[in-house]
Amino acid sequence: MGLDISVLALDWERLQATPVRERLGLLEDAVFPDVDLDREREPERGWVWPAAPGMPWCARYEFHSTTGSYKPHFWAGQAWEDVRDFAAPELREDLDVFLRGLFWHDDPVDPPLGGLLPPDHGPWRTGLLVACPPGTVSALAGHWTRAEPLLDGLRPAYDAHAARPGRWIEDFDEFAVLLREWAVAVAETERRGWGLLGLPW
């Protein structure tokens, strides 16, 4: 078993109005809704509205290309590290910011997330927790608006420096698909004025 990730778009004010000790339970309900599972049914893809019954203020985004696994996110991050020095400076500047929440978890959690979850939140590994309040989501959307028209120009450098056949993200097309899925999650969240959380489990 590997690490999985769930991305939630949620009404940030509703989350902040919930007592800190009750937030983890709400988020767990959103990630693991108490519904009967049909094992014959195809896995959910894209937006799940609401994330769980009785939670109209929260939606879950299921990446089409990853089946919930964090591994593609990790390897896409590695690929960006391999190719970023060869990207056009204006693309690199915007993707560095846009991708930070999707790939990287090198910043300490407490300064940006202080008090968001109780300190003894158990299995929720803070080193991988993505937290984007509405203002951050809007900034991410702006970075993607500038980066997206330049993305296809990265293909030759990616093919030369970051393509790894047999890896989770093995070529530019798979890399671009994951980025565009993150852009879908960011765009809809911004449209609602909500925030984003990425929860590892």
Cα three-residue angle 194-55-142, rounded to 5 degrees: 15
> How do beta strands 46-48 and 58-62 pair?
antiparallel
Instruction: Average the pLDDT over 107-121 and give the result.
Output: 56
Mean pLDDT of the chain: 82
Tokens of 24: 């983890």
166-193 pLDDT per residue, tens? 888 899 999 999 999 999 999 999 999 9
> Do residues 154 and 164 lie in contact, with contact meaning Cβ atoms separated by under 8 Å?
no
Tokens of 89: 């400076």
34-83 pLDDT per residue, tens? 655 444 555 567 898 888 888 899 999 888 766 667 788 888 889 999 99
Residue 121 CA to residue 113 CA, distance in Å, equals 13
> Do residues 153 and 88 lie in contact, with contact meaning Cβ atoms separated by under 8 Å?
yes
The amino acid occupying position 14 is: R
Residue 110 CA to residue 157 CA, distance in Å, equals 36
Given a cut of 60, whether residue 125 has pLDDT beyond it is: no
Secondary structure letter of residue 184 according to DSSP: H
Give me the residue label for tokens 């959380």: 197
Residue closest to 61 by CA, chosen among 42, 73, 45? 45
